Structure 1
């Protein structure tokens, strides 16, 4: 069986596909991944031994700017991504049995599969963007809903209209060129009636949360057996478990003065600190020996050795910390991050930092709670509930449904 997987987004979008690709390969399938050409993702997929087909502009060129992307940036990017999918995926999916798409609204992926006569699956890593009677849609470029509108059915209809405004014209233009009929509701066309949810059911319970026929496989986790760098190992061995602080691919959205705030708050609790550089380029506030700055490392190994994990609330980091039994402080910035923060708090395995910009006082108050023994105990119990076989489950489903 031949499978093409595709996404456009940050590491949190690319790494799950690498995990699924490994799961498929282990079951005998041939897999390739169409993803952004960022060096980070080239390295990641090479480590997984999965061929990368570069698609679209680099993500870092779009998001790692001093200011967050604007609505006008989104209007320019949308047709570019649609065109890239029709061009790149059509060639990459030739001779394949199924195309699975995730990430930033993968408009064009289903249409390429339709034109080639192969299977199509839409996958997501959280329920935040799926129409629901229980929660409202998130922010999206376009005409906002009236502030006094509370009917969730109406709000989701207006969300679909915003997606149409972003993607409708370029999508239907490409469909017409292939002799395919136009699409009226782009969002629901992309999602299909049966999307797959690549999230752990303990961390992300989904029963009844959407009217769609959701298939929850568990998180698609890429196994990581890399040793930690020697200097990091030495730092960890030299004292009590430190606090980890990192904001991943959040560049423009990373809290101001995040490094200094975290270091001073950790020191107030007698804790050392591991600071992840990330796309925000965090650096130590001084040259004291109680802080070490790291680049991309094995989080699965590192998180088992820290006192707490402070992060932005991405699905991947939340899951990695939960699997490791590490208490979490989440300072959510955008998109689904408030949802993951709320789940961590509800499970008693961490706290939410309310407010996008932590201060030394507010972060120190979060440490007051998250460093308590009972939070660590809850985190360790929850770690045993978080499944690691989601990629295998999804791979078997793909083989059973689309294998020749």
Structure 2
């Protein structure tokens, strides 16, 4: 049985596909992956022996150069992504039995179109619940097409979101569908999600409240990371008390050095050492004192277990990893689904949600004070024991079983 996994986005979109790919392979499935051609993604799949087909433009230059919230160049980027689905992804899907897609709406809509044309099973996978229609929350804003303040009814706002999605991508998707002999689609968003989208999040960390949408929650597709930590980092960890980790992953920051300075000073104010993750924002140390170390790509699962707290942006992947590690968190969301994850951390009592995306030394110090308190630490340990670790295996069994039927 052959499966193609297609992901477009940053590390949070691509890394879960590594976990699913290996789970499928363990059950006897043949797997290949379409992912952005960024060097780190190419190396990641090569490192686990999974065939990767580069699709679309590199993500990192886009993420680090586009102004947050700006719609400048969006139409061209969307067109290129859609063309990649009908070209590269369609070619890679030849001979496959199923196509699993995660990524922006135009990617998913075109991915489902490819599956329809080839007559194979399609699964839309989301690694956060925020974009899935639900009467329990407002839809997120789309670049350049904000939702109206009124009506305040969530159902009406999701209906407006569907109209916005059609206005932004309907004509482009349908023109490409027509070119390969497929009929037009009236509702681009719901077509892309399908009637049974998969939600690859942990049910404790991210509970889904049932709606009319047949969401299948599998658990997060995390892969157990067995890579050793770099010797220099191990020596730093061994040389003193547990440090505070500060990192924003693949999230850009408008003033990275100002943020690094604020974060380091706030951690030092509490008498703690600091591990700074450079990430795509290229955070850096502010001096040469021996209480700080900067790291690149490392095994976060192993590192977080040796920290006193984790300060991060609130991506699905980092939040899940920190929660599984049983370490208190301070989440400083910058946008997208990150406020949701910050809220979940606060609701569970495993950390603090910092409302302002640009903290001060005083505000971050206060948040760390709460996170490093005994109650938060005990709660973080308790919740860690409830987080599932078999999400990828569950998804692999569901997929192979569905295709077999």
User: Does the 8 Å contact 2:141/2:147 carry over to 1?
Assistant: no
**Post-superposition CA distance 1:350-380 (Å, at most 9, x none):** 0011101011101100111000122111111
Shift of the 178–342 alpha-carbon distance from structure 1 to 2, 3 Å rule, reads: same
Q: TM-score, normalised by structure 1?
A: 0.97
1:92 aligns with 2:106: no
Shift >6 Å, 4+ stretches: none
1:81 aligns with 2:81: yes
| Cα distance in 2 between the residues matched to 1:66 and 1:101 | 24
Task: Determine the structure 2 residue equivalent to 1:188.
Answer: 190
Task: Determine the structure 1 residue equivalent to 2:316.
Answer: 315
For residue 203 of structure 2, the aligned residue among 201, 204, 207 is 201
Task: Determine the structure 2 residue equivalent to 1:35.
Answer: 35
SS of the residue 1:33 aligns to: strand
| Cα distance in 2 between the residues matched to 1:378 and 1:98 | 41
User: Does the 8 Å contact 2:3/2:32 carry over to 1?
Assistant: yes
Task: Determine the structure 1 residue equivalent to 2:134.
Answer: 132
Shift of the 297–128 alpha-carbon distance from structure 1 to 2, 3 Å rule, reads: same
Task: Determine the structure 1 residue equivalent to 2:355.
Answer: 354
1:43-62 alignment runs, 5 A limit: 43-62=43-62
Q: Cα offset for 1:287?
A: 0.7
User: Does the 8 Å contact 1:323/1:386 carry over to 2?
Assistant: yes
Task: Determine the structure 2 residue equivalent to 1:290.
Answer: 291
Task: Determine the structure 1 residue equivalent to 2:9.
Answer: 9
Task: Determine the structure 2 residue equivalent to 1:123.
Answer: 125
1:301-380 alignment runs, 5 A limit: 301-380=302-381
SS of the residue 1:236 aligns to: helix
SS of the residue 1:382 aligns to: helix
SS of the residue 1:257 aligns to: helix
User: Does the 8 Å contact 1:255/1:358 carry over to 2?
Assistant: no
User: Does the 8 Å contact 2:70/2:144 carry over to 1?
Assistant: no
User: Does the 8 Å contact 1:332/1:338 carry over to 2?
Assistant: yes
Shift of the 394–69 alpha-carbon distance from structure 1 to 2, 3 Å rule, reads: same
1:107-118 alignment runs, 5 A limit: 107-118=109-120
**Post-superposition CA distance 1:193-239 (Å, at most 9, x none):** 1000100001000032x320110000001221000000000000001
**Post-superposition CA distance 1:299-353 (Å, at most 9, x none):** 0100000000000000000000001001000000111100100010111100011
Root mean square deviation of aligned Cα: 1.3
1:101 aligns with 2:101: yes
SS of the residue 2:265 aligns to: helix
Task: Determine the structure 2 residue equivalent to 1:68.
Answer: 68
Q: Cα offset for 1:45?
A: 1.4
| Cα distance in 1 between the residues matched to 2:46 and 2:255 | 28
Q: Which runs of 5+ in 2 are unaligned?
A: none
| Cα distance in 1 between the residues matched to 2:42 and 2:181 | 35
| Cα distance in 2 between the residues matched to 1:191 and 1:365 | 41
Q: Which moved more, 1:275-284 or 1:62-71?
A: 62-71
User: Does the 8 Å contact 1:310/1:331 carry over to 2?
Assistant: yes
Task: Determine the structure 1 residue equivalent to 2:150.
Answer: 148
Q: Cα offset for 1:389?
A: 0.4
User: Does the 8 Å contact 2:330/2:352 carry over to 1?
Assistant: yes
User: Does the 8 Å contact 2:124/2:194 carry over to 1?
Assistant: yes
Q: Cα offset for 1:66?
A: 7.0
Q: TM-score, normalised by structure 2?
A: 0.97
Q: Cα offset for 1:145?
A: 2.7
SS of the residue 1:293 aligns to: strand
User: Does the 8 Å contact 1:329/1:370 carry over to 2?
Assistant: yes
Q: Cα offset for 1:147?
A: 2.0
Task: Determine the structure 2 residue equivalent to 1:383.
Answer: 384
Task: Determine the structure 2 residue equivalent to 1:237.
Answer: 238
Q: Cα offset for 1:68?
A: 2.9
**Post-superposition CA distance 1:251-308 (Å, at most 9, x none):** 1457661211111111111100000000000000111000000000000100000000
